[in-house]
Structure 1
Amino acid sequence: MTYTQEGVRPIAYVGRIPVSPITKRRLRNFRANKRGFWSLIVFLVLFAVTGFAEVVANDDPILVQYKGELYWPMLHDYPETAYGGDFPTKTDYSDPFVAERIAENGFMVRALIPYDHTAVDWKLKEPSPTPPGGDHWLGTDDQARDVLARTIYGFRISVVFGLLMTLFTTLIGVAAGAVQGYFGGWVDLTFQRVMKIFGTLPMLMVIIIVASFVEPNFWWLLGVMVLFGWPWPVGYVRAEFLRARNFTFVRAAKALGVSDTMVMFRHILPNAMVATLTFLPFTLAGSITTLTALDFIGFGLPPGSASLGDVLAQGKANLQAPWLGLTGFFVLSIMLSLLFFVGEAVRDAFDPHKLFKGEAAAGKDAASGPRAPAAAQAQGGGA
Structure 2
Amino acid sequence: MDAPTDTTITEAVAAQGIPRLRPWLSALQRRRWETFKANRRGFWSLWIFLALFSISLLAEFIANDKPILVEYKGQFYMPIFKAHPETAFGGIFETEADYRDPAVKAMIADGGGWVLWPPIRFSYNTQNKTPPMAFPVKPTWLLTDEDCKLAVERGFHPCDADLEWNWLGTDDQGRDVIARVIYGFRISVLFGLVLTLFSSLIGVGAGAIQGYFGGWTDLLFQRFIEIWTSVPQLYLLIIVAAVIEPNFWILLGILLAFSWVALV
* TM-score normalised by the chain length of structure 1: 0.55
Task: State yes or no: 1:159 paired with 2:189.
Answer: yes
Partner of 1:143: 173
Read off the aligned partner of 1:118 and give its amino acid letter: N
Partner of 1:35: 41
Relative to structure 1, is the Cα distance of residues 8 and 149 closer, same or farther in structure 2, using a 3 angstrom cutoff? closer
- Equivalent-residue separation in structure 2 for 1:232 and 1:29 (angstroms): 28
Decide which moves more: 24-33 or 69-78: 24-33
Partner of 2:32: 26
- Equivalent-residue separation in structure 2 for 1:107 and 1:77 (angstroms): 17
Read off the aligned partner of 1:161 and give its amino acid letter: F
- Equivalent-residue separation in structure 2 for 1:233 and 1:36 (angstroms): 26
Identity %: 50
Partner of 2:245: 215
Partner of 1:176: 206
Q: How does 1:210-359 map to 2 (within 5 A)?
A: 210-234=240-264
| Pick aligned residue for 2:117 from 110, 120, 136 | 110
Task: State yes or no: 1:101 paired with 2:131.
Answer: no
| Pick aligned residue for 2:131 from 120, 124, 128 | 124
- Equivalent-residue separation in structure 2 for 1:208 and 1:111 (angstroms): 38
Read off the aligned partner of 1:22 and give its amino acid letter: L
Q: CA deviation at 1:129?
A: 1.4
Read off the aligned partner of 2:223 and give its amino acid letter: R
Task: State yes or no: 1:195 paired with 2:215.
Answer: no
- Equivalent-residue separation in structure 2 for 1:230 and 1:82 (angstroms): 51
- Equivalent-residue separation in structure 2 for 1:175 and 1:10 (angstroms): 37
The residue matched to 2:173 in structure 1 has which SS?
coil
For structure 1, list consecutive stretches of 5 or more residues without a partner in the other structure: 235-383
The residue matched to 1:161 in structure 2 has which SS?
helix
Read off the aligned partner of 2:85 and give its amino acid letter: P
Decide which moves more: 143-152 or 55-64: 143-152
* TM-score normalised by the chain length of structure 2: 0.78
- Equivalent-residue separation in structure 2 for 1:201 and 1:89 (angstroms): 49
Aligned residues: 228
Task: State yes or no: 1:48 paired with 2:54.
Answer: yes
CA RMSD of aligned residues (A): 2.4
For structure 2, list consecutive stretches of 5 or more residues without a partner in the other structure: 1-6, 142-164
Q: CA deviation at 1:163?
A: 0.6
Partner of 2:76: 70
Task: State yes or no: 1:79 paired with 2:85.
Answer: yes
Read off the aligned partner of 1:96 and give its amino acid letter: P
- Equivalent-residue separation in structure 2 for 1:26 and 1:45 (angstroms): 23
Q: With CA pairs under 8 Å and 6+ residues apart, which has the higher RCO, 1 or 2?
A: 1
Relative to structure 1, is the Cα distance of residues 82 and 46 closer, same or farther in structure 2, using a 3 angstrom cutoff? same
- Equivalent-residue separation in structure 2 for 1:125 and 1:35 (angstroms): 41
Decide which moves more: 45-54 or 83-92: 83-92
Q: Deviations over 1:182-236 (max 9, x none)?
A: 66544433222122112211111112223333332211111111001112233xx
Read off the aligned partner of 2:116 and give its amino acid letter: V
Q: CA deviation at 1:20?
A: 1.7
Relative to structure 1, is the Cα distance of residues 45 and 103 closer, same or farther in structure 2, using a 3 angstrom cutoff? same
